């Protein structure tokens, strides 16, 4: 798929009020989904459409979901408010975009030096995360569900090589969420923007570097045309959860079986999305290296160490936040991270390191 095929955005139409309430007839409902993504953007744009179709199918057509991409009804950054206010019924986006609502929200999406995709689900189901997720989003009239994950993200695309942490100071860099706060601690000039705007900013020189997701999505957006140094590991986002937010009043109005349809559609999509990202990231990276001259580069150890110190500073501020709920979310996250992290040294980390060593990866 070519970049120009999906970065087009529609006008923000005055027709938004047309979708202020779901149509209900003969026990059939029509819901409007708004997304933070261009139509069919590889990764999140495709996943959003899959979720809309899956809810419609699993409900036997009783809950029909029609998707509108970023800019067709509301701009991408406006989808949370549109659902909160009832202009739309549900959205597909990532928690990293809603830090202005509450810093506590950011922990449900990705955390610097934090949880992998499977660990994120573990926290939600077995570590008390979902209850805290519901409590936080309930403040805004939204019922949240995780519905996908990108897996490990990359540190991003750089015009110049990084030799030390000093090279990062003053660098104009695109990132989001808590990763942006971590990078700011090191003196980087961090900006949040969409993938298409990141391409334009790199092209014009308004950005020196930036991260978006990973090889599959990044290749489609064309970042490799401008910067060839592709840095890993993406310690700012060891995983990045995608979410579906549903207008709480609309959700509570549903009969119990349709509530289960929405939950089941989101739950079932998580692994499908995560494993698709991982599979297609691997294939895309091979092509980027072999055909496009991209150079994967490992961040120097001293840079990773300095980023780690900055990450702990950021998490520390959440543990001391004025909002009691934010403090509870942060403490819950840290307790789960440390428990599962110590175990993974022996389990998954040990297995993967042994495989790489023996097979010569």
Annotated binding site for substrate: 153, 174, 211, 237
What sign does the CA torsion over 109, 229, 158, 46 have? Answer: negative
Angle of helix 117-126 relative to helix 129-138, nearest 10 degrees, comes to 80
Find, among 15, 110, 29, the residue nearest to 68 by Cα.
15
Return the structure tokens found at 204.
């014009």
**CB of 210 closer than 8 Å to CB of 157:** yes
Measure the CA angle with vertex 336, ends 325 and 282; round to 5°. 115
Q: Is 118 exposed, middle or buried (0-12, 13-18, 19+ CB in 10 A)?
A: middle
Q: How many residues does the chain have?
A: 361
Binding residues: 153, 174, 211-212, 237
CA atoms within 13 A on the CB side of 143: 16
Binding residues for Na(+): 212
Q: Would strands 189-191 and 172-174 be described as parallel, antiparallel, or unpaired?
A: parallel
């Amino acid at each position: 798929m070519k970049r120009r095929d999906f970065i087009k955005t529609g006008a923000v139409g005055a027709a938004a009020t047309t979708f202020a309430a779901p149509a209900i007839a003969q026990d059939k409902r029509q819901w409007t989904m708004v997304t933070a993504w261009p139509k069919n953007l590889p990764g999140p744009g495709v996943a959003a459409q899959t979720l809309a179709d899956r809810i419609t199918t699993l409900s036997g057509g009783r809950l029909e979901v029609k998707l509108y991409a970023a800019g067709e009804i509301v701009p991408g950054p406006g989808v949370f408010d549109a659902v909160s206010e009832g202009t739309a019924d549900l959205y597909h986006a990532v928690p990293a975009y809603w830090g202005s609502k509450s810093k506590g929200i950011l922990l449900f999406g990705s955390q610097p030096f934090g949880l992998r995709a499977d660990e994120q689900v573990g926290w939600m189901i077995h570590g008390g995360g979902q209850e805290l997720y519901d409590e936080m989003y309930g403040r805004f009239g939204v019922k949240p569900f995780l519905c996908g994950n990108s897996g490990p993200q990359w540190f991003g695309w750089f015009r110049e090589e990084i030799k030390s942490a000093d090279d990062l100071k003053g660098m104009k860099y695109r990132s989001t969420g808590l990763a942006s706060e971590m990078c700011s601690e090191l003196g980087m000039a961090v900006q949040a923007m969409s993938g298409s705007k990141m391409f334009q900013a790199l092209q014009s020189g308004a950005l020196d570097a930036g991260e978006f997701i990973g090889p599959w999505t990044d290749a489609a957006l064309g970042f490799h045309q401008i910067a060839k140094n592709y840095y890993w590991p993406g310690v700012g986002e060891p995983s990045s959860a995608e979410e579906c937010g549903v207008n709480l009043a609309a959700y509570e109005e549903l009969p119990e079986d349709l509530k289960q349809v929405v939950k089941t559609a989101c739950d079932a999509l998580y692994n499908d999305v995560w494993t698709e990202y991982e599979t297609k990231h691997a294939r895309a990276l091979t092509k980027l290296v072999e055909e496009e001259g991209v150079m994967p580069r490992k961040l120097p150890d001293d840079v990773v160490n300095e980023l780690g110190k900055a990450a702990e500073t950021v998490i520390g501020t959440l543990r001391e936040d004025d909002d009691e709920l934010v403090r509870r979310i942060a403490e819950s996250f840290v307790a789960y991270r440390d428990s599962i992290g110590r175990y993974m040294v022996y389990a998954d980390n040990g297995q993967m390191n042994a495989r790489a060593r023996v097979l010569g990866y």
